[in-house]
Structure 1
Amino acid sequence: MNVHSSVPTDAGSRHPVAIAGLNHWFGEGEARKQVIFDVNMRIEGGSLTILMGPSGSGKTTLLTLAGCLRDVQEGSVKMFGQELYGASERELVANRRRMGFIFQAHNLHESLTATQNVMMGLEVHGRDDRGRYLEASHHLLGLMGLGDRFDYLPSNLSGGQKQRVAVARALVGNPDIVFADEPTAALDKDSGGRVIRMLKRLGAERGTTTVMVTHDNRILELADRVVTLEDGRVVDDSAH
Structure 2
Amino acid sequence: MGNASITTRGLNHFFGKGDARKQAIFDVNLEIERGSLTILMGPSGSGKTTLLTLIGCLREVSDGSVSVLGHELNNADEDLLVGLRRRLGFIFQAHNLHESLTSTQNVLMGLQVHGGGNPQKQRDAAHHILNLLGLADRRDYLPSNLSGGQKQRVAVARALVSNPEIILADEPTAALDKESGHKVVQMLKSLGKARGTTTVMVTHAPRILEMADRIITLEDGHIVSDQRQ
Q: Structure 1 length as normaliser, TM-score? A: 0.94
Answering whether residue 198 of structure 2 is matched by residue 217 of structure 1, we say: no
Deviation at 1:98? Answer: 1.1
Deviation at 1:129? Answer: 2.2
Answering whether residue 87 of structure 2 is matched by residue 98 of structure 1, we say: yes
Provide the aligned C-alpha RMSD in A: 0.9
Answering whether residue 193 of structure 2 is matched by residue 189 of structure 1, we say: no
Q: Distance in 1 between matches of 2:140 and 2:163?
A: 23
Query: For 1:37, which of 8, 21, 26 is the aligned residue?
Result: 26
Q: Distance in 2 between matches of 1:202 and 1:179?
A: 13
What is the aligned partner in structure 2 of residue 62 from structure 1?
51
Deviation at 1:132? Answer: 1.2
CA contact (8 A) 1:13 1:45 kept: no
Deviation at 1:13? Answer: 6.4
Q: Distance in 2 between matches of 1:50 and 1:214?
A: 7
Q: Distance in 2 between matches of 1:154 and 1:47?
A: 32
Answering whether residue 79 of structure 2 is matched by residue 86 of structure 1, we say: no
Q: Structure 2 length as normaliser, TM-score? A: 0.98
What is the aligned partner in structure 1 of residue 9 from structure 2?
20
Q: How does 1:155-234 map to 2 (within 5 A)?
A: 155-234=144-223
Q: Distance in 2 between matches of 1:55 and 1:204?
A: 31
Q: Secondary structure at the match of 2:109?
A: helix
What is the aligned partner in structure 2 of residue 8 from structure 1?
none
- CA deviations on 1:69-104 (whole Å, 9 max, x unpaired) are 100020000011100011111111121111100001
Q: Distance in 2 between matches of 1:159 and 1:175?
A: 24
Answering whether residue 102 of structure 2 is matched by residue 113 of structure 1, we say: yes
- CA deviations on 1:144-168 (whole Å, 9 max, x unpaired) are 1000011100000000000000000
**Counterpart of 1:86 in structure 2: which amino acid?**
N
What is the aligned partner in structure 2 of residue 150 from structure 1?
139
**Counterpart of 2:45 in structure 1: which amino acid?**
G
Q: Would you identify which runs of 4 or more consecutive aligned residues in structure 1 move more than 4 Å? A: none
Q: Secondary structure at the match of 2:113?
A: helix
Q: Distance in 1 between matches of 2:204 and 2:96?
A: 20
What is the aligned partner in structure 2 of residue 238 from structure 1?
227
Answering whether residue 29 of structure 2 is matched by residue 48 of structure 1, we say: no
Structure 1: runs of 5+ lacking an equivalent? 1-11
- CA deviations on 1:21-56 (whole Å, 9 max, x unpaired) are 000011111111000000000100000000000000
Q: Distance in 2 between matches of 1:70 and 1:27?
A: 13
**Counterpart of 2:154 in structure 1: which amino acid?**
V
CA contact (8 A) 1:228 1:235 kept: yes
Identity over aligned pairs, percent: 68
What is the aligned partner in structure 1 of residue 126 from structure 2?
137
Q: Distance in 1 between matches of 2:115 and 2:18?
A: 41
